[in-house]
Amino acid sequence: MVWTGTWVAERLGVELIGDEALPALLGLALRRNPKRAHLLVSSVLGKHVPQRPSVVYGSGLDLGRRVRALLGDEEAARSVVLGYAETATALGHAVADGLGLAPYLHSTRRPVAGVARAGGFEESHSHATSHLLLPEDPKLLAGDGPLVLVDDEFSTGNTVLNTVRALHERYPRDRYVVVALVDMRSAADLGRLDAFAAEIGARVDLISGAVGTVRLPEGVLEKGQALVAEHERAYAPGAGSVPGSSAAPRRHAPVRVALDWPEGLPDGGRHGFTPDQRHRLETALPTMANRITEALRAPAAEPLRAPADPARPGPTAEALPGSSAEGLPGPTAEALPGPSDVELSGPTAEEALGATADGRPATPAPPPAGPRVLVLGFEELMYAPLRLGTALEDAGHDVRYSTTTRSPVLAVDDPGYAIRTRLVFPAHDDPADGPGERYAYNVAGAGFDAVVLVVDSTADTPALHAPDGLLAQLAAHIPRVVLAVVPSYTPTASPYVPYDATPEVTEATEAPERSSMLPEPLRGPAFSSYAPEEVGWLLQDLSDVELEAPTEEREEAIQSGGAHYAESLPVEYQPSDRYQELFHAALETSAARIARAVGTVTETVLAERERPGHRPVLVSLARAGTPVGVLMRRWAQARHGLDLPHYAVSIVRGRGIDANALRWLAAHHDPADVVFVDGWTGKGAITRELADAIEEFEAAEGVTGFDPEIAVLADPGSCVRTYGTREDFLIPSACLNSTVSGLISRTVLRADLVGPNDFHGGKFYRELAGADVSHAFLDAVAARFDEVGAAVDTDVKELLAADRTPTWEGWAAVERISEEYGIHDVNLVKPGVGETTRVLLRRVPWKILAKRGAEADLAHVRLLAEQRGVPVEEIDELPYSCVGLIHPQYTRGATGADGKAVVSQ
């Protein structure tokens, strides 16, 4: 038999390394994913490859029994099992069944209005990364018994580590058990789990069905993406190169079967599933299987109709609305093979696994005669259809089981490739992350006589029944389609537990409703020129929106009250050759000075904010704070081996910080670990803005713990306690705009672009890549880390012993200048080298006040002032190197009468 990973292995050089059983459990495919090209396709999971339900269920039961043997009955009864959406929801439930004594919960990507989150975490390599935990009982995760985490594969360990870290901070416990069908970690990843266990002071065990690894050659991601693009073009509509793509005639209208689903029983595990509920489901399965059997055996010529008396025993089925036999469009399906080519044979997979659902020998009896039936589940709804499949199998049917999925995978008609066909259809459950394509793999052309589609009532929508919907796609390929709808379950109450509280001392309050789930952070290279691990941007991508306006027009609109500065963007400044020379010269002379400030502020943060089992989470204020946050992260990594999370968020003067970004941070990290980072302080306006915004957010959300203190590289205004220096010196990242900040614009907040559940916006200027010096700046500073180490140690020791209480000296100076120069608006006075540079690059400058003798840090300021025709006035008494004055009461015809005040228009 041909291994279903041959096609990928031959073209990309990917190697699957393990024992003899591994190829029977896994095949390979390619997916449309910018983070990972290959996909390990399990033959015993029941996701992408239809498999006997007893094999799928038995794989989880066997793993669960092994966990029970490891823990013992007493600890097993105290444990909780957590499975991962979407792929491992049924596997995790089967593990819980094998344990027998433990409640079960799986993560979900479907938020429920009014139901509060007990936590969440990220799956970094996935196509949809945000996971929510929505247990009906908020104390489900709060016990101190073992937590058993179940996933289909353990590839790098990142997902599990993210989960344990997030939950351990809120619900610490002594023991975790990680369960996977296959452990495919590389040699580099093998020690991370032990190191992490030691870090948090807990025991972490690992149980898997098989062990191996994937060896990836250099450049496999780019080669895989090119291969996917090549074959997707070949399979595009109208390409004419897809063998066997014509639709089979529709022979039977789909019918609906009403299941006797036990009242009040959860539809899966997203809100929790107890051992008692497990018993109730087991009792009801035979009756539900009989209903489906009667629907499958009804005469094909006449669809089943609902009986006159709904209480009458027997099949309760009706023709689906709009299900006429004619008028269906052709299916969206690729590469339809014969049925014998699609799947790994049942006996081979079972022998590799070692047992069937009830513990009988692995090799099964020959399949029963009769129709070949597929039970098809729906995304996260995997357990209910799996158990219906096992009940039908017990009733004597020849059954296979799989589910639909969000994951986009390439289909190739080759026996050595794991995904032979692909049905494409629109999402039909009104997903929180918006509409999109969904997929069913290895279904078309697989020789099924009937399909039983199992969905929950939330997904039983007009889109499901539409001409291009899933039902129509199935009916075009399979003679009989039966729809079984499980009632969607919503908890009756869901108390809200604040993230920093313990269950013993927290009173339940109503959770604030969220209409949608926030997306994952944007990362390079798709958004920004920074490496993906350097920073995650909690922004929405507005790169395709025209937001730029001439500087003079923006200034007039802002000062007239007709627009806020965050509603548009200035045209990106393109530096002259002379200015670029100044930047590089400034970088060369100041790199060591900046490195020393970076080290000092980072070591201060680590000394004051690091706690046992916790690490600081750097949150830079986009965009000036982001290069500083990246450098702080690099220092912590180089000096201490710490891999600090780093995100960039938007804060807008007069509008506050992005509340949705704070919600995301609170869902994924302990707010007490968050350290806000900025480049420098001017007069301290953003410092005050952040403090007010945090206070408002905590009052509205009931989430506490965020520290509004900002850590900055330079604090010439004496506005904060945590800084690298209080000198006002040239920071070269202030000399440029996006080209020194990962090619990202200043952030945007405009009502028609940013909704109540959206992150603030930003643009990625890909077209400026040729002028990008972001990495040159970072690398030049990081190269000086070693030489400034001793000086940093001295600085930090002195700082920690000193009185660093802010004096707000800068604010007083700004108020004095505002009155002395007749401006009467502190927002138009921008103190410090960084803020003065911004005035010259983005606003309409009136004049520059320069401290006499500060020539070394002001060469670029004088050049910009010369280019824009702005006078520079020398001042003796100035707490800053320079101050930029924005043209007050500006209109494009404004003129000054006395050199200080501007005539009102």
Write the CA distances from 4 to 27, 160, 444, integer angstroms.
5, 28, 18
pLDDT of residue 500 exceeding 50, the answer is no
Give the pLDDT confidence score for residue 492 in this predicted structure.
Answer: 63
φ and ψ at residue 714, rounded to 5 degrees:
-135, 135
> Are the beta carbons of 517 and 112 closer than 8 angstroms?
no
Classified as helix, coil or strand, 415 is: coil
pLDDT of residue 174 exceeding 60, the answer is yes
Give the pLDDT confidence score for residue 559 in this predicted structure.
Answer: 54
Q: Which residues pair with 42 in a beta bridge?
A: 26
Q: Roughly what angle, to the nearest 10 degrees, separates helices 192-200 and 158-170?
A: 10
Nearest to 599 by CA among 728, 449, 838, 781: 781
How many angstroms separate the CA atoms of 131 and 122, rounded?
6
The pLDDT-based confidence of 311 (bands split at 50, 70, 90) is very low
More confident residue, 311 or 59: 59
% of residues, the chain, pLDDT over 70? 80
Q: Helix, strand, coil % (nearest 5) of the chain? A: 35, 20, 45
The pLDDT-based confidence of 343 (bands split at 50, 70, 90) is very low
> Are the beta carbons of 316 and 258 closer than 8 angstroms?
yes
For Cα atoms 526, 155, 92, give the angle at the middle one, nearest 5 degrees.
Answer: 110
The amino acid that residue 865 corresponds to is A
Range 667-686 average pLDDT: 85
pLDDT of residue 786 exceeding 60, the answer is yes
Q: Region of 393 please: left (phi>0), alpha (psi -120 to 50) or beta.
A: alpha
More confident residue, 342 or 762: 762
More confident residue, 195 or 104: 104
Give the pLDDT confidence score for residue 89 in this predicted structure.
Answer: 94
φ and ψ at residue 645, rounded to 5 degrees:
-60, 145
What tokens appear for 135 in the block? 């247990």
Range 875-897 average pLDDT: 67
Q: Roughly what angle, to the nearest 10 degrees, separates helices 383-394 and 89-99?
A: 60
Q: Prior bond to 20 cis, omega within 30?
A: no
Most confident option among 37-46, 58-67, 697-706: 58-67
The pLDDT-based confidence of 126 (bands split at 50, 70, 90) is very low
The pLDDT-based confidence of 552 (bands split at 50, 70, 90) is low
More confident residue, 741 or 346: 741
Give the pLDDT confidence score for residue 41 in this predicted structure.
Answer: 93
Give the pLDDT confidence score for residue 375 in this predicted structure.
Answer: 97
pLDDT of residue 332 exceeding 50, the answer is no
How many angstroms separate the CA atoms of 30 and 842, rounded?
46
What's the whole-model pTM score?
A: 0.55
More confident residue, 890 or 69: 69
> Are the beta carbons of 152 and 46 closer than 8 angstroms?
no
The pLDDT-based confidence of 58 (bands split at 50, 70, 90) is very high
The pLDDT-based confidence of 789 (bands split at 50, 70, 90) is very high
Q: Roughly what angle, to the nearest 10 degrees, separates helices 859-868 and 577-609?
A: 130
The amino acid that residue 506 corresponds to is T
For residue 379, the tally of other CB atoms under 10 A from its CB is 25
> Are the beta carbons of 868 and 840 closer than 8 angstroms?
yes
Lowest mean pLDDT among 216-225, 386-395, 453-462, 789-798: 216-225
Give the pLDDT confidence score for residue 205 in this predicted structure.
Answer: 94
Range 670-679 average pLDDT: 91
> Are the beta carbons of 810 and 539 closer than 8 angstroms?
no
For Cα atoms 282, 288, 293, give the angle at the middle one, nearest 5 degrees.
Answer: 130
pLDDT of residue 508 exceeding 50, the answer is no
The amino acid that residue 154 corresponds to is F
Helix (H), strand (E) at residue 831: strand 829-831
With helix as H, strand as E and coil as C, how does 654-682 read? CCEECHHHHHHHHHHCCHHHEEEEEEECC
What tokens appear for 603 in the block? 């070591």
φ and ψ at residue 432, rounded to 5 degrees:
-65, -30
Q: What is the CA radius of gyration of the chain?
A: 31
How many angstroms separate the CA atoms of 381 and 89, rounded?
8
Give the pLDDT confidence score for residue 341 in this predicted structure.
Answer: 33
Give the pLDDT confidence score for residue 335 in this predicted structure.
Answer: 40
For 594-626, the pLDDT digits (tens) are 999 999 999 999 998 877 778 899 999 988 899
Give the pLDDT confidence score for residue 560 in this predicted structure.
Answer: 54
The pLDDT-based confidence of 549 (bands split at 50, 70, 90) is low
With helix as H, strand as E and coil as C, how does 751-780 read? CCCCCCCCCCEECECHHHHHHCCHHHHHHH
Q: Region of 607 please: left (phi>0), alpha (psi -120 to 50) or beta.
A: alpha
The helices-and-strands tally (H runs, E runs) of the chain is: 23, 34
Residue with tokens 């390929």: 477
> Are the beta carbons of 386 and 401 closer than 8 angstroms?
yes
- The per-residue pLDDT of the chain, averaged, comes to 79
Give the pLDDT confidence score for residue 361 in this predicted structure.
Answer: 38
Give the pLDDT confidence score for residue 861 in this predicted structure.
Answer: 83
Classified as helix, coil or strand, 235 is: coil
Query: Buried (b) or exposed (e) across 767-799, using 16+ Cβ within 10 A?
Result: eeeebbbbbebbebbbebbeebbeebeebbeeb
Range 856-868 average pLDDT: 81
Range 441-455 average pLDDT: 94
The pLDDT-based confidence of 700 (bands split at 50, 70, 90) is confident
The residues near 347 (Cβ < 8 Å, ≥ 6 apart) are 362, 363, 364
The one-character DSSP state at 316 is -
φ and ψ at residue 533, rounded to 5 degrees:
-80, -15
For 517-542, the pLDDT digits (tens) are 567 888 988 899 999 889 999 999 99
Give the pLDDT confidence score for residue 668 in this predicted structure.
Answer: 83
pLDDT of residue 587 exceeding 60, the answer is yes
pLDDT of residue 159 exceeding 80, the answer is no
The amino acid that residue 497 corresponds to is V
Range 211-223 average pLDDT: 85
Give the pLDDT confidence score for residue 296 in this predicted structure.
Answer: 86
Nearest to 484 by CA among 751, 290, 758: 290
End-to-end CA distance of the chain: 85
Most confident option among 313-327, 384-398, 547-561: 384-398
Classified as helix, coil or strand, 104 is: strand
The pLDDT-based confidence of 33 (bands split at 50, 70, 90) is low
For 141-153, the pLDDT digits (tens) are 888 899 999 999 8
% of residues, the chain, pLDDT over 90? 35
